[in-house]
Structure 1
């Protein structure tokens, strides 16, 4: 009996070690998948604050909470099952779908650049100001934000799935669920901080302390700069991520010239910089991917605008 109990305890210990090892693998995979989706995450954080424009300050956080719940619903109820179904039934479709998503990212970033150069705006504030019913305005903003989030979340899930495509299905499900939770919490936590930064600054500026007033004014004045910086970083990140997806996808179809050329140039540049080898190689690769993304996105923008005219 004791020997049986010891054997059972050994089995339990072995299972616990295996579970801990699997948990470590899942955590590492989730972190890697989240990092791969960084470009989309940055753009998501840059895009969402515009949906609280025109709303009263007391409704900003409730609106962000509604959008966050909608984002989580998009990921867990629709996108995660779809991603697992593709992985199980049609894994060959992952790369083409990922490339379509990459092309969309390149298009969206190029469209933003096109609008910036031509003084256009995809979501003019004047349209928001026309809405006089606060409830209708709120519903409209939430609905628009959740629709936009669905596209960005789809790309996040596709990138995450491609990162863990070679692990068992159950592990893919855990990784995708973890990425969904962490990225949603991170993005909308940052968004909440961004949209309330001016309110926090105004509150601090009314304090008697000179230091508090200085910090408060700094926060208020930093808000427009931060929003512009996020927009620029998000656009650049979409070009880098989208272009990188397309470049890597070419290898799956036997088209190695562009990926190998970019790799050799990046390696050569890295070797020429000595201690900065890794940073330089990454920067050159990101720059090359961004240029490829800008070319593809520019072509799509030109074609679509041609059809519009």
Structure 2
């Protein structure tokens, strides 16, 4: 029984399989794998803009470029060789490693929720402690690349699962193509999103009444959009993290909880007739998010306890 993250993309994946039937093995496999990873791509796109929110406009695109390069480095230099090696020599470790990544995403999202509830702006305080604009920028970029590493790992692992019938060389080529295409797509969209306000200002200065109206609308909407994306990114990390954990639990043979979630989703969706598929997906996403909050909350409590009194864990020389 696939998790909400995987089930959402099954129909699209089938279309991709049919469409790629006439292509060569690597191109066809890349299409399949990229389709399967699309769910995490959406989350990656939602998460990234928050790292440039509040920074000066002239630094937005350079920062996104730095994050994009870091993302590509994550995928091609670290994750691709690691994924191929695991597939060849230790495939049994893929699921546990994915679950660790899912737990980290759930923790990071839950920690942000806790900070918002407790008005604990620890992350913002750390950024304000930067001694220069360059240091502030470097910290933002490092944080974005760190989160991207986890999301990229999920993308590459989901893609790898679709390439199991290929040889190592073909797997590596397909994964490289998936990593490149997804990175360009994600950060191209992110760059467009964060520059929409500048596009709006440009349109607002034009003579055309329509252009002015559209420009003013963009200038008004974009700041709210960026703020909303921060919340969407947090929700997305919970959904993806919880979905990975549920899928991993099932893969490890503990099927009771995933089946309960699956059956409950079907039961709820059956009440909505033609909206069955949408409600089923939404139910699975909510269930995955709840799992994410539970696991992330437990980790957040442990981390906060360990960091609250660090001197308790220092052993005297």
Work out whether 1:38 is the aligned partner of 2:41: yes
SS of 1:272's equivalent in the other structure is helix
Q: Could you report, residue by residue, the CA deviation over 1:144-173 in whole angstroms, capped at 9, with x for unpaired residues?
A: 543443333233323332444454433432
The whole-number CA distance in structure 2 between the counterparts of 1:101 and 1:165 is 21
Contact 2:44 2:148 in 1 (8 A): no
The corresponding residue for 1:119 is 119
SS of 2:100's equivalent in the other structure is helix
Contact 1:29 1:175 in 2 (8 A): no
Give the paired residue count: 289
Contact 1:273 1:280 in 2 (8 A): yes
Work out whether 1:20 is the aligned partner of 2:19: no
The whole-number CA distance in structure 1 between the counterparts of 2:145 and 2:34 is 25
Contact 2:52 2:60 in 1 (8 A): no
Question: Could you say if the C-alpha distance between residues 195 and 123 of structure 1 is closer, same or farther in structure 2, counting changes exceeding 3 Å?
Answer: farther
Contact 1:39 1:234 in 2 (8 A): no
The corresponding residue for 1:83 is 83
Where structure 2 has 5 or more consecutive residues not aligned to the other structure, the ranges are: 1-19, 309-317
Work out whether 1:101 is the aligned partner of 2:101: yes
Q: Could you report, residue by residue, the CA deviation over 1:211-243 in whole angstroms, capped at 9, with x for unpaired residues?
A: 222222211111221112212222222111111
Question: Could you say if the C-alpha distance between residues 209 and 30 of structure 1 is closer, same or farther in structure 2, counting changes exceeding 3 Å?
Answer: same
Question: Could you say if the C-alpha distance between residues 243 and 39 of structure 1 is closer, same or farther in structure 2, counting changes exceeding 3 Å?
Answer: farther
Out of 172-181 and 158-167, give the one that drifted further.
158-167
CA RMSD of aligned residues (A): 2.7
The corresponding residue for 1:73 is 73
Work out whether 1:192 is the aligned partner of 2:195: no
Question: Could you say if the C-alpha distance between residues 144 and 267 of structure 1 is closer, same or farther in structure 2, counting changes exceeding 3 Å?
Answer: closer
- What aligned pairs does 1:1-309 form with structure 2 within 5 A after superposition? 20-23=23-26, 25-38=28-41, 40-50=43-53, 53-55=54-56, 57-121=57-121, 123-124=123-124, 127-128=127-128, 131-132=131-132, 138-139=137-138, 141-165=140-164, 167-309=166-308
TM-score (norm 2): 0.80
Question: Could you say if the C-alpha distance between residues 71 and 254 of structure 1 is closer, same or farther in structure 2, counting changes exceeding 3 Å?
Answer: closer
Greater C-alpha Rg:
1
* 1:277 to partner: Cα distance: 1.9
Where structure 1 has 5 or more consecutive residues not aligned to the other structure, the ranges are: 1-16
Contact 2:102 2:244 in 1 (8 A): yes
